[in-house]
């Protein structure tokens, strides 16, 4: 019985990993395409921006975004895996053979813990390094100040921030009410 459970456990774990990695890869490709289109839109006016540089910048930005979506990839992967196993009646056969629900869920749980550990130890530092590279590449593309930072500057050309200006105008209004 333990040999069958061990083999069946490896089978369920393998199916879960294939489903989770498949969802992860699908979302990765989707995010790369969407981010690439957005970067092409941003750099359309720049003569120095080549398609390869824009694609590379987009490819380096996506792992950081995908790291936030990793729990959902695992969740959707588990749902896909067990739905496929249920449709092919493999879960029914496992239950008929005396395998409890906890026994066929535990391989996916162990695999998810391993995926989380690998994501924390290996994927997180890699995505952080790639994000820094993408920021440098964006700075080279847009000059020293990216387009988003230049939009945040006040239009009047003063060095004072809008938050400081609004605070000082609120103080003047409050003092005029008190004195008046």
Instruction: List, for residues 115-124, the tens digit of each pLDDT value.
Output: 999 999 999 9
Determine the 3-state secondary structure of 1 from DSSP.
coil
| E-strand stretches of 14-143 | none
pTM over 0.85: no
135-161 pLDDT tens trace: 998 888 887 654 444 444 444 444 444
Coil/strand/helix, residue 47: coil
User: Which of 109 and 170 is assigned the larger pLDDT?
Assistant: 109
pLDDT band at 3 (very low <50, low <70, confident <90, very high): very low
Cα Rg for the chain, rounded, in angstroms? 26
Please state the domain extents for the chain.
2-144
């Amino acid at each position: 019985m333990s040999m069958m459970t061990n083999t069946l456990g490896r089978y369920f774990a393998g199916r879960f990993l294939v489903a989770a990695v498949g969802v992860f890869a699908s979302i990765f490709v989707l995010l790369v395409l969407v981010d690439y289109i957005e970067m092409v839109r941003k750099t359309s006016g720049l003569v120095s921006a080549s398609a390869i540089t824009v694609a590379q910048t987009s490819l380096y930005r996506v792992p950081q975004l995908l790291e936030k979506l990793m729990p959902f990839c695992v969740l959707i992967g588990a749902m896909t895996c067990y739905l496929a196993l249920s449709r092919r009646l493999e879960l029914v056969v496992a239950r008929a053979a005396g395998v409890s629900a906890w026994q066929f869920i535990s391989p996916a749980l162990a695999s998810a813990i391993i995926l989380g550990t690998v994501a924390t130890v290996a994927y997180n530092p890699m995505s952080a390094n790639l994000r820094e590279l993408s920021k440098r590449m964006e700075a080279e593309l847009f000059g020293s100040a990216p387009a988003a930072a230049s939009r945040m500057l006040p239009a009047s050309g003063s060095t004072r921030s809008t938050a400081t200006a609004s605070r000082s105008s609120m103080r003047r209004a409050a003092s005029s009410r008190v004195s008046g």
